[in-house]
Amino acid sequence: MKRLTQTLAFCLLTVFTAVAQKNYVSEVWVSDLGNGKYKNPVLYADYSDPDACRVGDDFYMTSSSFNCLPGLQILHSKDLVNWTIIGAAVPNALPPIETPERPEHGNRVWAPAIRHHNGEFYIFWGDPDQGAFMVKAKDPKGPWSEPVLVKAGKGIIDTCPFWDEDGKVYMVHAYAGSRAGLKSVITICELNAEANAAITPSRIIFDGHEAHQTCEGPKMYKRNDYYYIFHPAGGVPTGWQVVLRSKNIYGPYEWKTVLAQGNSPVNGPHQGAWVDTPTGEDWFLHFQDVGAYGRIMHLQPMKWVNDWPVIGIDKDGDGCGEPVLTYKKPNVGKTYPICTPQESDEFDGYTLSPQWQWHANINEKWAYYAGDKSYVRLYSYPVLKEYKNLWDVANLLLQKTPSDNFTATMKLTFSPNPKLKGERTGLVVMGRDYAGIILENTDKGLILSQVECKRADKGKPEQANASVDLSQNTVYLKVRFSCDGKKIKGSEGGHDLIVMCNFSYSLDGKKYESLGNPFQAKEGQWIGAKVGMFCTRPAIVTNDGGWTDVDWFRITKK
């Protein structure tokens, strides 16, 4: 472990701070090609339902975070290609605060909208079981206000505020059929001047049942006296992007399909944000669902023809574009250094690094960030009495997968409570199916196992594919993600990439031994597979447990 004396830690604190402020550049995926062009996706990571806004020369983006905390991660860019994580709008807990310590997979934060108005940033989102929430801040890095319930109601999702020129404030939203019993419609209601409460009932302004089934994710704008609503339709893996327009905010609205897969390999190019540059260019951010890697983010050029947007490249002149794979970078008036969202972590800080998320509202008893000693300590936390597998565990510390081919490696030292058997820690690839390489304290001593759990979301049991006895408690764990572009039929009608994971371990950090079987990664509930770590103990009453000190976690090409 990177043990530093207190004196050395103090002396190097400013150095660590300076390093932390430098641009992080991924080893495994960089969209900026360095020649004035970029390749899609600009983020090969699960930034589902992205929305963005520009303030001056700065672009800010957020996306669905569902049950993961910190929630609503905020990303910043100067050119729409190079992004970094600068914070989170919901850092600790989602309302109600008293939720049980069980992950609410796929619930909570759906399809947010980020806007800037009168010197403040606003983020609206829909919680499908509670209604529309809002937070605001003067600085996108925070602090953000506590969430406010703007409009209560089952099934209210995909909310977006809009400030009209006459001072009135509105919110457009969709409905989740699973809660509301109705979907494929777009609605609007008026808000008060503070934008923190609805003052009128919602009113349906567009019905997509005939032409645009599963229309949702509305984003409202105004241009040349037209009100525009950008929305996806057709379903997550196979859909298309639609734009509505009207000169009356309540309609009637005419529609046009402005982006579809066409002959490109980019399936379901939809749901995202229209942004312009300081130089007057128009661009559109959207996601593509690729299965285990989640919904990765693309950037498309956009232009206006007869007051209709055309997104991507319109090869046949029908007004509907196709996605680009490479293109010239946005003209923002300057050239900025390459940067990417953070991935590797040396744990030299005193707070959670911004790429990490827990699987539920955060409990302060889960971890200690020992920046002076350069590790994060994960305390073994009791699983629920109803525990079936890791799908039921909240204290999973995970991050998004950052590329199609990469390796995640971590160094840990496990210090279990000698009086307590069954404490576990390790490296996990989490989804509806999961697998990991896990260290457990047993009656026979420390055992390292490669485990797998198929249909974890259905409560199926975990099984060990291979195990070895260990005579030391410091170990290096590794998983290699591999994808050659082959696909299989997905659960929602699309075709998902086949992602294989292979696990290995080392006792000295140099020579690695394979362990167990190859594992095909599986997405989670509305999120991609995630990779990270955990430390648990059985659901029994004890006054203390053991812990794991994680020295580092690194994302590399090999």
Across the range 140-153, mean pLDDT stands at: 98
Whether residue 330 is preceded by a cis peptide bond, meaning omega within 30 degrees of 0, is: no
Active site residues: 49, 216
Across the range 525-547, mean pLDDT stands at: 96
Q: Are 274 and 259 in contact (CB under 8 A)?
A: no
Q: What are the beta bridge partners of residue 531?
A: 399, 429
* Confidence category of residue 490, pLDDT binned at 50, 70, 90: confident
What average pLDDT does the structure give for the chain?
Answer: 95
Strands (DSSP E) contained in 345-459 are: 367-370, 375-379, 381-382, 396-400, 406-415, 424-430, 434-442, 445-453
Give the phi and the psi of residue 19 in degrees, each rounded to 5.
-60, -40
Across the range 27-38, mean pLDDT stands at: 99
In order, the DSSP letters of 43-58 are: B-S---S-EEEEETTE
pLDDT the model gives residue 520: 98
What proportion of the chain, given as a percentage, has pLDDT over 70?
A: 96
CA distance 202 to 186: 10
Q: pLDDT tens for residues 39-71?
A: 999 999 999 999 999 999 999 999 999 999 999
Q: Are 101 and 360 in contact (CB under 8 A)?
A: yes
Q: What are the beta bridge partners of residue 555?
A: 408
What element of type H or E holds 17?
helix 6-21
pLDDT the model gives residue 4: 42
Across the range 153-160, mean pLDDT stands at: 98
* Confidence category of residue 20, pLDDT binned at 50, 70, 90: very low
pLDDT the model gives residue 18: 37
pLDDT at 165 over 90: yes
Q: pLDDT tens for residues 239-274?
A: 999 999 999 999 999 999 999 999 999 999 999 999
CA distance 172 to 219: 7
- Structural domains in the chain, sorted by start: 31-328 (2.115.10.20), 367-556 (2.60.120.200)
* Confidence category of residue 541, pLDDT binned at 50, 70, 90: confident
pLDDT at 539 over 50: yes
pLDDT at 9 over 60: no
Across the range 314-342, mean pLDDT stands at: 98
Structure tokens at 435: 């697998």
Give the phi and the psi of residue 15 in degrees, each rounded to 5.
-65, -45
Q: pLDDT tens for residues 272-324?
A: 999 999 999 999 999 999 999 999 999 999 999 999 999 999 999 999 999 99
Across the range 372-377, mean pLDDT stands at: 98
What element of type H or E holds 497?
strand 495-497
Residue closest to 502 by CA, chosen among 487, 520, 488, 486: 520
The residue with tokens 């990270």 is 532
* Confidence category of residue 22, pLDDT binned at 50, 70, 90: confident
pLDDT at 554 over 50: yes
pLDDT the model gives residue 7: 37
pLDDT the model gives residue 5: 38
Across the range 422-431, mean pLDDT stands at: 99
CA distance 232 to 272: 8
SS3 content of the chain, % helix, strand, coil (to 5): 5, 45, 50
What element of type H or E holds 132?
strand 131-137
Work out the number of other CB atoms within 10 angstroms of the CB of residue 166: 5
pLDDT the model gives residue 28: 99
Structure tokens at 328: 């010239």
CA distance 140 to 122: 9
What element of type H or E holds 7?
helix 6-21
CA distance 362 to 339: 29
Q: pLDDT tens for residues 174-183?
A: 999 999 999 9
pLDDT the model gives residue 10: 34
What proportion of the chain, given as a percentage, has pLDDT over 90?
A: 92
pLDDT the model gives residue 292: 98
CA distance 492 to 40: 23
